[in-house]
Amino acid sequence: MFGKLFGKTSPKEKLEKKYKKLLEESHRLSHSNRAKSDLLRAEAEEVLKEIENL
């Protein structure tokens, strides 16, 4: 609660934001650069594993 008041984000929130950004970018690239899209998707899956470990 206080973290939100003072602008601090938890490590989990940072990872969730990174995960979402990677998925969005992967989806965008899937129409033009499939290889890059697949790499971003794999990176997103690694971030998801980190989130689950928290």
Q: What digits encode the pLDDT tens for the residues 11-37?
A: 999 999 999 999 999 999 999 999 999
| Residue at 18 is within a domain | yes
- What's this model's pTM, rounded to 2 decimal places? 0.81
Look at residue 3 and tell me if it is in a domain: no
How many domains does one find in the chain?
1
Question: What whole-number distance in Å separates Cα of residue 26 and Cα of residue 40?
Answer: 5
Q: Is residue 42 part of a domain?
A: yes
Neighbours of 12 (CB within 10 A): 11
Q: Which residue has the higher pLDDT, 9 or 47?
A: 47
Backbone dihedral region of 7: left (phi > 0), alpha (psi from -120 to 50 degrees) or beta? left
Residue 4 belongs to some domain of the structure: no
3 state SS of 54: coil
Give the per-residue pLDDT at 5.
Answer: 61
pLDDT confidence of residue 9? 81
Whether 2 is covered by a domain: the verdict is no
Evaluate whether residue 1 is within a structural domain: no
17 lies in some domain: yes
* Residues spanned by the domain of 38: 9-53
What tokens appear for 29 in the block? 């690239």
User: Using 50, 70 and 90 to split pLDDT, how confident is the model at 40?
Assistant: very high
